[in-house]
Amino acid sequence: MKLLTKGLLERFAKLGRQEDSSDPVVVAKFFNPTGAGTWYATEYDPEEKIFFGYVSIFGDWNDEWGSFSLDELESYRGQLGLGIERDLYFGEKRISEVMPKAKL
C-alpha cells in the first residue's frame, strides 16, 4: 500500500507549516500493524520526504513531536514482513482530539 496519495500531498501543501498553531491538524496517521508505533503527521516536505508530527511509540513519556522520514516508514519491515501502514479510516482531526497530551 502506498503511504501517500495525491490527495494527501495536496492537503499537506494547502495546510503548509503549522508551527504557529497550538492545536495543529493531523492530516495522516501511520501505524505499525504488528508492534508499537503510531505517527501523526501534521506537515510534509515533499522535497526532503520528511514529515513533522507527533510520534507515539509506547504511549508513554517517550512520545514527542519531531520529524520522521517517508523513506524510513516505507522501508521498515516488522513481524511477518509487514510494513508501516496508513490508517485508511482516519479522518483529519486536531491533535487534541487524537492525543490530548500532545497539544502544543
Range of the domain at 66: 6-95
1 domain-assigned = no
Contact (CB, 8 A) for 88 and 29: no
pLDDT in tens, 16-62: 999 999 999 999 999 999 989 999 999 999 999 999 999 998 878 78
Question: What is the 8-class DSSP label of residue 62?
Answer: T
Residue type, 60: D
27 domain-assigned = yes
24 domain-assigned = yes
100 domain-assigned = no
**Predicted local confidence at residue 103, as pLDDT:** 63
pLDDT in tens, 69-96: 999 999 999 889 999 999 999 999 999 9
Contact (CB, 8 A) for 81 and 36: no
103 domain-assigned = no
104 domain-assigned = no
> Does residue 9 have a pLDDT over 90?
yes
102 domain-assigned = no
**Predicted local confidence at residue 61, as pLDDT:** 79
> Does residue 1 have a pLDDT over 80?
no
